[in-house]
Amino acid sequence: MRAWLRSPDAANPNQPPEYGNVAGLLDAYLARVKDSKADKTYRSYESIIRHHIKPRVGALDPARIT
Q: What is the pLDDT of residue 61?
A: 87
pLDDT at 8 (0 to 100): 63
For residue 66, the model assigns a pLDDT of: 78
Q: What is the extent of the structural domain holding 37?
A: 2-9+20-64
pLDDT for residue 65? 80
Buried b (16+ CB within 10 A) or exposed e, 20-54: ebbbebbbeeeeeeeeeeeeeeeeebbeebeeeeb
List of the chain residues with pLDDT < 50:
none
pTM of the predicted model as reported, rounded to 2 decimal places: 0.69
- Establish if 30 belongs to a structural domain: yes
Is residue 60 in some structural domain?
A: yes
40 located within any domain: yes
The pLDDT of residue 64 is 81
